[in-house]
Structure 1
Amino acid sequence: MRRTRQLLLPLYLFLGACMPVAPSDTAATRAASDAIEAPSGMPPMKSFSVPRPAQPVASNSDMARDFLDLAFTLESGRSLSTFTRFDGPISVRVTGAPPASLGPDLNRLLHRLRTEAGIPIKLTNTASANITVQAVTRSEIRSALPTAACFVVPNVTSLKEYKANRRTRKVSWSQLKKRDKLAIFLPNDASPQEVRDCLHEELAQAIGPLNDLYRLPDSVFNDDNVHTVLTGYDMTILRAYYDPALRTGMTRNQVADRLPEIFARINPRGASASPKRLSKTPRIWIDAVQTALGPGANPAQRRASATEALKVATAMGWNDHRRAFSHYAMGRLLQATDPQGAQDHFVLAQRYFGQSPDTALHRAYVASQLAAYAISAGRANDALYLLTPHLDTAARHENAALLATLMMLSAEALELAGRVTEGRKVRLDSLGWARYGFGSEWAVRAKLREIGSLNPARRRSGAL
C-alpha cells in the first residue's frame, strides 16, 4: 500500500456556485462600484516564520490507542505485523527541479522535527541520503498515480525507479521490515502552500505512521485535508515514534506495553485529560466521503455519496467532528443546486464542530462559507462577526490560502458596511498571503473576482 496525498476537492471556498442571492436593501457604497482587481504590481509573497503549534488536548490513553492504529495499520485497513522506523540519524536530500519556496519550507520543517519531536534529521547533498525529495511536475506525478497530488514510496530514489518497480514487492509498504531509503515526489508547479502541505504530510509518513484516521480532529494523519501543517498532536506522536524505548521489529503488543510510560513522560498533561474513546470509522463512511470529495465521480454520484456519509454518521450516533464533516461535505455539494440547503448544512456543521480547540480550524472553514452567504445577502456586520475570530486561527495553523480568503471576505464586508478605506487596506494585505496560498497572479486575481462577485452592490453596478 502506497501512501498518497489524495486530490480531494480543496477545502477553500467554493463560492462561485453559491450565488446569486436575492438583492438586499443594503445601500451600495461608493467603493462598491469600483472593479475588483489586484494592483498592477503584486506585493511580495508572505510566508510564516515562527511556528505556533498548540499542545495536544487528547488524553494519553487516546493517544496510545491512536498510535497503535496509526503505526500498525495501512490506509487500506491491512494490518502490519512489525513496527518500522529509521534507526539512527536521518538524512534528506532534494533532487529534480524544486521551486524556490521548497528550500526554506523544508528547513523549517526539519528544524521543527528536531526541536519538537526530538528526531535527528538533517539536510544533505549526498546520494546516499535516507530520504530523497524529488520535485517533478504534477503531470509526471499523475502519470505514476492518477489520483495523487504527491506520494512517498519505500526503497527507491527517483520517479523513474518507482515506475520500473511499481508492481513489485520492492515498493510495497506491507512488505517493509525496516526503513533505509525512501522517496517523496512533490509537485514543482503547484502553489507554494500545496508544495509545503505535501512536504509536511509525506515526510511525516516517510519517517512515522503509515495510516490515516478520520477520528483524529487535530492531525495531518487524517485524509480530510483540514490540517496540512504538522500539529502539536502530530509532533507528540512522532516524538513517541522515535522514543528510545521503541525499536524496529517490535510487535504491536510489545509497543503497546511501552506506550503508557512513553506518553506519561513526553505528554504529562495528557495524564489528567479525560479520554474520548471515539469509535472506529467504518469503511463505508470513508469510501462515501472520498467519493463525494475526491476525483472521478460525477455530481450525482458525489451527492449520493455525501448523503450516504451523512446517513452513516447519523446511524453511528456521532456527535463529533466526523458528523460535522459529513454536513460540511453535503453543504459543499449542494451549493450549486440548493444554496439554502447548503447553508443549513454549514450551520449544522458549525454546531457539531463545537468549541473544542482541536476543531478551531474546522470552524474557520465553515465560517468562511457562512460569511459568504451573509455578504451576498448584504449582511456586512454578520459577516464580520463570523470572520473576525478566525483570522488568527488561520494564521496560527499557517494556512495562507484560508487566511487570504478570510481577509478578502472581510474586505468585502467592510466596504459593504461603508468602511471603504479599511476594506481596501485589508484586501491589499491579503495579497501577499494569497500569493503563497494560491500561487500565480492569475489565481490570486481569480480569487479576488470570485469573492468580489458575492457583494450585492457590485452585482447591481456590474463592476466585477
Structure 2
Amino acid sequence: MRRIVLPVCLMLGACMPAVPTETASRAAPFSDTSLPPMKTFSVPRPTPPVQSNSDLAQDFLDLTFTLESGRRLPYFSRFEGPISVRVTGKPTASMGMDLNRLLARLRAEAGIDIHLTDSPEANVTIQAVTRADIRRNLPHAACFVVPNITRVSEYRKARRSERTDWGKIRTRERLGIFLPSDASPQEVRDCLHEELAQALGPLNDLYRLHDSVFNDDNIHAVLTGYDMMILRIYYAPEFSAGMTRGQVAARLPAVLARINPAGQNLPPRRVGSTPRSWVLAVQTALGPGANPPERRRAAEQALQIARTMGWNDHRMAFSHYAMGRLTQRVDDRAAQDHFTAADHYYAQVPGTDIHRAFVASQLAAFAVAQGRGQDALSMVTPHLNTSARHENAALLATLMMLRAEALDLLGRADEAESSRLDSLGWARYGFGADWAVHAKLREVASLNPVLGRN
C-alpha cells in the first residue's frame, strides 16, 4: 500500500513513507564488466515472532478490517482453496528466482497452498511492466495490487469502479500485481513481498508494528516472521471469506492459541494507536509535494506529537530519524543528535536491530566525514550481519563501503579494498544498474576527507 518512491539507502536522501490510499501499492527507489557478479541471498533467516496473543488479536483485527486510508472494511476477504500465480509481461531473471523463494516461504511458514501456473485463469497475475507504465496510472507508485484486473492497461478505466473496490469484495478470486521490469533486483523483490502479502492478506499498514512490512516506515525489505504468522492466521480453517469483524473476533482467541501457543502467557505490550495528526505530519515531512522548510516544520510537529504522547518506542525513534534526515543538509550537528536519539529509542524496543542498522549508516557517514575512522568502523561492523539476515543488499553494500572508507582512514588499505570489492556484488542486487553502483561508490568515497574527495 506504499505509493512513494523510496530510495532504500541513499545516505544524503530522505526516507519517504506512503500516502494513504485504497489501492495497495509499495513505494519506488534503481553493464560495466569490471564489476563482479551480482550476489543474492540464499536461505531465509526470519526471526520467530515473540508476541502476546492479546496484542496479536488487536493487530490482526486492525490490519484486516481497515484500509490505510482509515476506511472500515465490512467483510473478511481472502482466497478460498489453492491459489495459483502466473507471471506475464517482461520479468527479469531475478524476479523469477525471488518469486520462487517467496512462494516456498509462504507454503512452509504461512501454510498457504500457493503455486505457479501458466494458465490465464490464475488467481493472481503478476505483470512486469515499465516504471513509466506504473506511474501513468499511479504517479507516486513503484508497484501496486488491484482486485479483478490482470493488465495494467485496464486499471485507469476501472480504478474508481466497484470492480476494484476492496470494500465490495468478500471472496478474492482474481487480482493483478504490477511490478517494474526496469528497477533494481532488490526493488522488484521488495515489491513482490509486499504486494503478494497484501494480495493474500491484510491491506492496511500500522506504524505501531515495528517487526512487519505492514508498516509505512519501509524499514523491512522482506516478509518477517511476524508477517508470516499474520498470513497463517489469515488462512486458518476456522475463518472463511465474508465473515464480519465480530465473527472473526469471536473465533480469533482459539486460532491464536493453536498457532501461537507461546503467546498465551506473554504479557501484552499494549502499544497505543497512532494519532492521525502524527501520521499526516510524517507524510508531509517525508512524502511528496512539500518544500524543504515545510518538510522540516512537519517533522518538528511529528516529533512534538511523539513527545506529547509520551512515546518511548520505535515511533519516537522514527520521529528523530526523520528530523535527522531533514536537517543534515542545514545543521549536521543537530542531525547527529537526532540520529543518536533515534538509536537510543530503538534500543529500548526488542527486535529493532535492522532499524538501528539504518541509523548506524547515518552516524557512520558523519564519522567518516569527520575523519573518525575507528568510530565509523565500530558503528558499522555490528550491523553487517543484521543487514544480511534481513536481506537488505542495498543497506549491506552501503555499510561495507562505509567500512572500507573507515579502514582507509586507519591506514588499512588492503582491508579497505577487500571490503569495497565485497560490497559490489551486493550493490548490484541492491542498486541495480552499474551506473547506480558506481554512483553509490562515489557518494560514499566523497565523505572521506583524508583522500581529498569531500
**Offset, 1:271:** 2.1
2:144 alignment partner, SS class: strand
Matches of residues 83-98 of structure 1 in structure 2 within 5 Å? 83-98=76-91
The one-letter code matched in structure 2 to 1:10 is P
Counterpart position of 2:21: none
Matches of residues 116-155 of structure 1 in structure 2 within 5 Å? 116-155=109-148
Query: Are 2:284 and 1:284 aligned?
Result: no
Query: Are 2:405 and 1:415 aligned?
Result: no
CA distance in 1, matches of 2:323, 2:142: 23
The 1:281–1:355 alpha-carbon spacing in structure 2 relative to 1, beyond 3 Å, is closer
CA distance in 2, matches of 1:266, 1:16: 41
Matches of residues 24-423 of structure 1 in structure 2 within 5 Å? 41-423=34-416
The one-letter code matched in structure 1 to 2:201 is G
The 1:66–1:420 alpha-carbon spacing in structure 2 relative to 1, beyond 3 Å, is same
CA distance in 1, matches of 2:125, 2:45: 28
Contact in 1 for aligned 2:312/2:348 (Cα 8 Å): no
Query: Are 2:413 and 1:432 aligned?
Result: no
Contact in 1 for aligned 2:5/2:142 (Cα 8 Å): no
Contact in 2 for aligned 1:9/1:294 (Cα 8 Å): no
The one-letter code matched in structure 1 to 2:67 is L
CA distance in 2, matches of 1:407, 1:76: 38
For residues 21-68 of structure 1, the C-alpha deviation after alignment (integer angstroms, 9 at most, x for no partner) is xxxxxxxxxxxxxxxxx9961100000010000011221111111000
Contact in 2 for aligned 1:5/1:201 (Cα 8 Å): no
For residues 404-447 of structure 1, the C-alpha deviation after alignment (integer angstroms, 9 at most, x for no partner) is 00100011111111111111101100100000000001100000
Counterpart position of 2:2: 5
The 1:412–1:40 alpha-carbon spacing in structure 2 relative to 1, beyond 3 Å, is farther
Deviates more, 1:217-226 or 1:175-184: 175-184
CA distance in 1, matches of 2:161, 2:132: 23
Counterpart position of 1:457: 450
2:450 alignment partner, SS class: helix
CA distance in 1, matches of 2:340, 2:131: 36
Contact in 2 for aligned 1:288/1:306 (Cα 8 Å): yes
1:387 alignment partner, SS class: helix
The 1:74–1:257 alpha-carbon spacing in structure 2 relative to 1, beyond 3 Å, is same
Contact in 2 for aligned 1:404/1:430 (Cα 8 Å): yes
- How many residues are matched? 438
CA distance in 1, matches of 2:259, 2:69: 30
The one-letter code matched in structure 2 to 1:107 is N
The one-letter code matched in structure 1 to 2:297 is A
Contact in 2 for aligned 1:8/1:293 (Cα 8 Å): no
CA distance in 2, matches of 1:338, 1:98: 43
CA distance in 2, matches of 1:9, 1:344: 24
CA distance in 2, matches of 1:281, 1:378: 40
CA distance in 2, matches of 1:276, 1:304: 31
Tell me, which stretches of 5 or more residues in structure 1 are unaligned? 18-37
**Offset, 1:310:** 0.8
Q: How does the TM-score come out when normalised to structure 1?
A: 0.92
CA distance in 1, matches of 2:160, 2:411: 62
2:86 alignment partner, SS class: strand
The 1:107–1:16 alpha-carbon spacing in structure 2 relative to 1, beyond 3 Å, is closer
Tell me, which stretches of 5 or more residues in structure 2 are unaligned? 15-30
The one-letter code matched in structure 1 to 2:7 is P
2:171 alignment partner, SS class: coil
CA distance in 2, matches of 1:11, 1:341: 23
CA distance in 2, matches of 1:59, 1:354: 20
Question: Alignment identity in percent?
Answer: 66
The one-letter code matched in structure 1 to 2:434 is E
Contact in 1 for aligned 2:314/2:349 (Cα 8 Å): no
CA distance in 2, matches of 1:345, 1:8: 24
CA distance in 2, matches of 1:197, 1:172: 24
**Offset, 1:275:** 1.1
The one-letter code matched in structure 2 to 1:297 is A
**Offset, 1:8:** 4.7
CA distance in 2, matches of 1:6, 1:167: 17
2:142 alignment partner, SS class: strand
Q: Which has the higher contact order (CA 8 A, sep 6+)?
A: 1
